[in-house]
Structure 1
Amino acid sequence: MRYGKDHKQATRQRIVEAAGRRFKRDGIDGSGVASLMADAGLTNGAFYAHFASKEDLVATAVADQLRAQGQQFTELASGGGAEQIVRSYLSVRHRDNPEEGCPSAALLDEIGRCSDGTRRAYTDGLLATIDAILARSAPDDLQAARARTLSVFATMVGTLQLSRALADRDLADAVLEQGLRNVLALLGLEQRG
């Protein structure tokens, strides 16, 4: 049976979304093609009809995850500004559900070891996310605002990664709470509640 172009695109998107979740949960190196395709409800043989290689899928999934994160940040910002983004990002729920969260916090160490294509997809996706947020605030000096925002984001990512890595739950919670305070202070926002 022949399927139309829409079916192929929908299948490809299903693979990309399933891979994004699996990569964030198990890592890129910990996710084989067989498990990725099983997550999408497909056989291994269907993989090469959609992607040239696993690295091609990785780059596509990373870009897709960052695009989705950018949309989420934009929605959060429209509802509560930068503070809402920070509170959602540095939350226990986000920390405890990596497969549903930030691709940076889950995958940066592996992305740094990926091909130039994947690192470029990551860079472009991250900058698009950051620039979309900055466009809403229309700063006078976009370059300085971008550098400052990337620094704040790096603090958020590092806080989340450290909190996830700690075996002591109380200490992990304390790191998350202090990171929240630090980021809000960097942004000039007062700590509430």
Structure 2
Amino acid sequence: MRVSRAQAAENRERILEVAARLFRERGIDGIGVADLMKSAGLTHGGFYGHFKSKEDLVAQACGRAVQKMRDNWIKAIEQTGGDPIRALTGTYLSAKHRDNAGRGCTLAALGSEIARQSTAVRHNVTEELKPFIDYLSEIVEGNSASIRRERAIALHASLVGAIVIARAVDDDTLANETLRAVTNVIRSTSTPRAPRGKKGTTPRTPRATKA
């Protein structure tokens, strides 16, 4: 029985969502296509009607996951209306994020694996990460664009690294200390940038991209 275009598009979205979550939970090589499709409530045979290969799915799912998390963090930051650095660290460097890899940062969950994936996978992740670095460059202080960008990259690397370590250790005390220590250092050294513009404007939100 053939499905409508609308249903096919819905099925494709479901596969991408489930794949992004399961890859982050189990690792890219931790689940095969058959089990992934079963988790999405679809048949194995329908997979190749949506994707050329598992590699194609990995590239699209990881890129989509970075995009969605980026947009979610920016939304959370801007909804607070306060210090964006405090809002970001409060959301990212939290026990909730640490304990929910399947719905968290793709780079913190899969960074080392993505580094070993194909050019297509790495390219998709890179292109979706760049707008977030641009956004961070707009909320950190600095006397030049190059300094702000350097600080933005360092800020992002500190966030990701803290979550990686907090998940890796089997000592809850050390895990919590790691999150608190990095939070405190970031907040004490990363001054938020004053609004720019005649009437004071917030940093420009990157335009959402299509998968």
TM value normalised by structure 2: 0.83
The answer for the alignment partner of 2:16 in structure 1 is 16
Aligned 1:126-165 pairs, distance under 5 A: 126-134=129-137, 141-165=144-168
Whether 1:57 aligns to 2:60 is no
Q: Where in structure 1 are there 5+ consecutive unaligned residues?
A: none
**1:133, CA displacement in angstroms?**
4.7
Question: Residues of 1 paired with 2:176 and 2:139: CA distance?
Answer: 31
The answer to whether 1:188 aligns with 2:199 is: no
Instruction: Write the letter of the residue equivalent to 2:22.
Output: R
Instruction: Judge which range, 105-114 or 58-67, deviates more.
Output: 58-67
Which residue of the partner structure matches residue 126 of structure 2?
Answer: 123
Q: Is the 8 A contact 2:140 2:191 kept in 1?
A: no
Q: Is the 8 A contact 1:164 1:172 kept in 2?
A: yes
Identity of aligned residues (%): 35
4+ runs deviating over 3 angstroms: 132-144
- Computed over aligned residues only, the root mean square deviation of the Cα atoms, in angstroms, reads 2.0
- Deviation string 1:130-186 (CA, Å, 9 cap, x unpaired) is 224545789884444233212111111111110111111111111111111122123
Letter in 1 for 2:40: A
Q: Are positions 1:103 and 2:114 aligned together?
A: no
What's the CA shift for 1:89? 0.3
Shift, 1:34, TM fit? 1.4
Counterpart in the other structure of 1:175: 178
For structure 2, the residue ranges without an aligned partner over 5 or more in a row are 193-211
Residues 112 and 119 in structure 1, CA contact (< 8 A), matched pair in contact too: yes
Residue 113 (structure 1) shift: 0.1
> CA separation of 1:178/1:8 partners in 2, compared to 1, >3 Å: closer, same or farther?
same
**Quick check: which one's helix share is greater?**
1
Matches of 2:132 and 2:120, distance apart in 1? 18
Residues 23 and 102, structure 2, Cα contact 8 Å, conserved in 1: yes
Q: How many residues align?
A: 189
Given that 1:18 and 1:39 are in contact with CA atoms closer than 8 Å, whether structure 2 keeps it comes out as: yes
Question: Given residue 21 of structure 2, which amino acid in structure 1 is its aligned partner?
Answer: R
Normalised TM-score (structure 1): 0.90
Residues 143/125 of structure 1: CA separation in 2 closer, same or farther (3 Å cut)? farther
Q: Is the 8 A contact 2:15 2:40 kept in 1?
A: yes
On the 8 A contact 1:162/1:172 being kept in 2, the answer is yes
Q: Which residue of 2 aligns with 1:25?
A: 25
Structure 1 Cα separation of the partners of residues 177 and 74 of structure 2: 28
Q: What CA distance in whole angstroms lies between the structure 2 residues aligned with 1:51 and 1:163?
A: 34
